[in-house]
Amino acid sequence: MSYSFFFFHCLMISSVCAHCVSVCTSILLVYINIYYIYFATKTRNQCTHTHSYT
């Protein structure tokens, strides 16, 4: 499931139900936080790997 599809689906629901806007926003924030943490740990691991080789 792509971000654009999910976001578009959220907008469609949001136009019908105002409460869904906050729900969709919180879900998106959770997704962004998960990806941020994942990429942060991934880059940190790459940094330690490159430093260990030198």
pLDDT per residue, tens digit, the chain (54 aa), is 577 777 777 677 666 677 777 777 888 889 889 999 998 888 877 766 555 554
Pull the structure tokens for residue 19: 């409460």
Q: Give the Cα separation of 30 and 6 in Å (integer).
A: 14
The answer to whether the pTM exceeds 0.75 is: no
Pull the structure tokens for residue 11: 């907008």
